[in-house]
Copies of this chain bind each other. A is one copy, B any other.
Amino acid sequence: MDEFMRAAIEEARKGLAEGGIPIGSVLVCDGRIIGRGHNQRVQKKSAVLHAEMDCLENAGRLSAAEYRKSTLYSTLSPCDMCSGTVLLYGIPRVVVGENETFKGPESYLSSRGVELELLDSDECKSLMRGFIREKPELWSEDIGK
C-alpha cells in the first residue's frame, strides 16, 4: 500500500475512533505530506468539513503554485463539494482509495483535466461498509441524501 494512502487510512481510523465518519485524506507536495484531515461532521458538527476539506483547511493558505504540484489522497471517491474544491485550486491529481461505497463526479473531474488514480482498496471499502451498516442515517446526511 502506497505510504500516502496509508496515512489517509490512519486519518479515517482516527475519525472512526472519535465516533465520526471514517474517511481520511492527505495532501502531498514535493513528496511530503503538507496537510491531513478526516471527516468532522460529528466531531465539529460540521456541514462542510468532509475529509478532503478538513485536510485542505489544515494545510492552510497555499499559493496556486503549491496546489498545482500537489496530489490529494482520499480514502473515498470525492463528492461534488470536494471535487469542486480540487477544481478551484487546480490540484492536478487525485488518488482514491475506493469508489464502490460512494462515487463522486469522477468523469466530470477527468473532463476538467484532473488525473484520477483508483487504488480499489479492500481496507477502505471495509471501513465504509462497517460504518454505513452501523450508522446509515449519519451517512445519508453526509452525502445530502
Task: State which of A2-10, A53-61, A93-101, A120-128 sits at the interface with chain B.
Answer: A53-61
Q: How many residues of A contact B (CB 8 A)?
A: 33
Is A29 part of the binding interface, using a Cβ–Cβ cutoff of 8 Å? no
The complex is assembled from copies of this chain, and their number is 2
Question: Quick check: A47 and B62 within 8 Å, CB to CB?
Answer: yes
Q: Which 10 A-B pairs have the closest CB atoms?
A: A84-B84, A80-B87, A80-B84, A89-B144, A81-B85, A81-B88, A80-B88, A81-B84, A48-B57, A88-B144
Residues of A within 8 A of B (CB): 41, 45-49, 53, 56-57, 59-64, 67, 79-85, 87-90, 108, 140-141, 143-145
CB within 8 Å for A143 and B47 given contacts A41-B61, A61-B41? no
Contacts of A141 in B (CB 8 A): 61, 63-64
Question: Shortest Cβ distance from A39 into chain B, in angstroms?
Answer: 12
* Complex: A81 Cα to B79 Cα, angstroms: 11
Q: Complex: how many Å from CA A59 to CA B60?
A: 23
**In the complex, which of the residues B57, B83, B87 contacts A47, with contact meaning CB atoms closer than 8 Å?**
B57
